Structure 1
Amino acid sequence: MRALLVVNPNATTTTERGRDILVRALRSQVDLDVAYTQRRGHASDLARDAAREGLDLVVTLGGDGTVNEAVNGLMTFDEGPAADRAHERPALAVVPGGSTNVFARALGLPSDWAEGTGAILEALRDRRERLIGLGRADDRYFTFCAGLGLDAEVVRRVDQFRHKGSTSTPLLYLRAFSAQFAVTNRRVPLLTIQLPGEPATTGLTWMLVQNTAPWTYIGERPVNPNPRASFDTGLDALGLRELPVAGTARTVSQLLSARREPKGKQVLRLHDLPGFTLTAAKPIAYQVDGEYLGEVDKLDFASVPGALRVVC
């Protein structure tokens, strides 16, 4: 089996010693090449080249951003239907190396890189893989979530903090959330969701789209506003309408709770959607898989079932 290991050398929990151990372990089972990312988007280029060269497996060592780039490289190396060509692309294996590692944990893998490596090696020995669905926002694929509004603004703030030397931690995200929440106008309805063949729903201030559950983690605790979301179903969406201060505090506590699902007249929840369109009254921040991608005023979302083979 020919494989490529894509390493993000700047990922939060990776070390040179750990990378050496991982390379030796993988080379005991596969014919392995190693490539290090050098810029944003490089993992996508590396994965796309691996697919074009006919490799069997792409392994990532990094966080969810590295995984997202690699997935987009694998999915866009040809122009065929995504699901129909899943078995012609390399499979993906994910060794957690970031601060949160939502995708790896959603697959049931350990969050620690050493334990994750062991799980991947065992799956390779047993030839164990799984076919999962992906989400797509316009031409960008995502593995676990996308968001427009508040959460994307938080991701943008975290990126700014990290560029100034801060380490990505749950505390940093809380700091970014607190700062953004203080300046967010929660009474300006910007977003409209349009499902095929149905009347549009307007008056939304924030929208979260999930391809699986949970949405994210705070340390070891999952944050699970759409617990029915799954790699094996369509997309789940949660939107918030105009919220007064008291309602906002209650909904935020529900969002962050491990046991309570967001409910109330200001909450819109939709399950197992094949696709829909979001439009904004003015450009609004958006993110996919925790990566800030700028501002948009329209996105077409689609569920892509059976799109990717993963070793897990």
Structure 2
Amino acid sequence: MRAVLVVNPKATTTSERSRDVLVRALRSEVDLSVRYTRRRGHATDLAREAAEEGVDLVVTLGGDGTVNEVVNGLMTAEPPTVTGGTSADRLPALATVPGGSTNVFARALGLPREWAEGTSMILEGLRLGRSRTIGLGRADDRYFTFCAGFGLDAAVVHRVEMARKRGRVSTPALYLRATVNQYFLASDRRHPSIRLERPGTESEDELATVIIQNTAPWTYLGEREINPNPDASFDLGLDVMALRQLKVASTSRTVTQMFSRQPDPRGRQVLRLHDVAEFTLVASRPQAFQLDGDYLGQREKVRFTSAPAALRVIC
């Protein structure tokens, strides 16, 4: 089996020594080539090149941003010989070694949080031929693995990214401070501006912020799962939770429900949609936009679609 390991050398929870251990372990099972990312977006190019070279497996070592880039490289590749079937049949399999600060995608697949334990589980999966096929989400022309956000949560992601560029370490406390500051100091909570449109149904108007999930949980706060849409699944379409208002009382109640042991956010200000194939978000003013925890700027319109049976993953 030919494999390529795509390494983000800036991954927050790995070192050069741990990367060497990983490479030796993988080479005991596969014919491995190692390629390092040098800039944002480089992992997309490396994964596309690997798929078009006809490799059987692409392994990532990095966080959710690295995984997202690799997935987009795979999904836009044209493998040399295989035609027909689903993209999961045509493309190399994907294996993810957790190396970031949160690793939502890897943990949603059932992999341990630490890279060493995750590597052991992947090696076992390779030996046993254990894999699963998952669906992805797509926002315009870009794929995502576990979540997207339009509005408040994306603005929080932007705040955290800016803080990390100033040297701050990504921690649950940093996210909490960013959320509080964005909510109270930088959000227009009185004038909801987002509309959700679906084929064959009336639009949902005056939404304040929207969270989209391709699996559950949406994210983690340390070890704690946060679950706006607990029924979201890699095997189904997309799930949506939107807030119609960002009033303090109703927002606090919804956040509390998301953190509960049996999350099921409900209320007059909550819109929930399950297993949706496609929809479009339209805003009367630009909104922050994120995919898989990466801030992608502001948008006024984004079309979301579900991509079933998109990739085969080793887990």
Specify if TM > 0.5.
yes
Which residue matches 1:52? Answer: 52
Aligned mates of 1:121, 1:142 — CA distance in 2: 25
Pair 1:197 & 2:200 matched: yes
Distance 1:50 1:27 in 2: 17
How many residues are paired up? 312
Counterpart secondary structure, 2:283: strand
Contact 1:57–1:91 at 8 Å: present in 2 too? yes
Q: Which residue of 1 aligns with 2:249?
A: 246
- Which blocks of at least 5 consecutive residues in structure 1 are unaligned? none
Code of the aligned partner of 2:63:
G
1:193-248: CA deviation from partner (whole Å, max 9, x where unpaired): 01111111101000000000000111111111111100001100000002322222
> How far apart in 2 are the matches of 1:267 and 1:255?
12
Which region of structure 1 is more displaced relative to structure 2, 212-221 or 243-252?
243-252
- SS across alignment from 1:230: coil
State how far apart, in whole Å, the 2-side matches of 1:48 and 1:82 are. 18
Q: Give matches, 1:5-154, under 5 Å.
A: 5-78=5-78, 84-154=86-156
Q: CA deviation at 1:252?
A: 2.2
8 Å Cα contact 1:83/1:306 also seen in 2: no
TM-superposed deviation, 1:82: 10
CA distance in 2: counterparts of 1:213 and 1:82, whole angstroms: 30
Aligned-pair CA distance for 1:179: 1.4
Structure 1 residue identity aligned to 2:294: E
Looking at structure 2, the residues matched to 194 and 81 of structure 1 have their Cα atoms a distance apart, in angstroms, of 34
In structure 2, which of residues 273, 278, 296 is the aligned counterpart of residue 275 of structure 1? Answer: 278
Are 1:174 and 2:176 matched, yes or no?
yes
2:265 counterpart letter in structure 1: P
Deviation of 1:261 (Å): 2.0
Query: Are 1:304 and 2:307 counterparts?
Result: yes
For residues 137-196 of structure 1, the C-alpha deviation after alignment (integer angstroms, 9 at most, x for no partner) is 000100000000111001001110110111111111112111111121222111100111
Which residues of structure 2 form unaligned runs of 5+? none
Provide the residue aligned with 1:3 in structure 2. Answer: 3
- Measure the CA separation in 2 of the matches of 1:52 and 1:91: 13
Does the aligned pair in 2 maintain the 1:12–1:168 contact within 8 Å? no
| Distance in 1 separating the partners of 2:250 and 2:197 | 25
* Alignment match of 2:209 (pick from 196, 206, 209): 206
Distance 2:51 2:235 in 1: 24
| Contact 2:87–2:309 under 8 Å retained in 1 | no
State the identity %.
64
TM-score of the pair, normalised by structure 2: 0.96
Task: Find the aligned partners of 1:206 and 1:81 in 2 and give their Cα distance.
Answer: 40
SS of equivalent residue, structure 1 residue 284:
strand
CA RMSD of aligned residues (A): 1.5
Contact between 1:155 and 1:290, CA under 8 Å: does it hold in 2? Answer: yes
Relative to structure 1, the CA distance from residue 292 to residue 83 in structure 2 (aligned partners, 3 Å threshold; closer, same or farther) is farther
Distance 2:253 2:97 in 1: 36
* Matched residue, 2:224: 221
Instruction: Return closer, same or farther for 1:59/1:82 CA change in 2, 3 Å cut-off.
Output: farther
In the superposition, relative to structure 1, how do residues 299 and 63 fare at CA in structure 2: closer, same or farther (>3 Å)? same
Task: Tell me which moved more, 29-38 or 247-256.
Answer: 247-256
Distance in 1, matches of 2:248 and 2:314, equals 45
Deviations 1:110-163 (A, max 9, x none): 011000000000000011111100000000100000000111001001110110
Corresponding residue SS for 1:265: coil
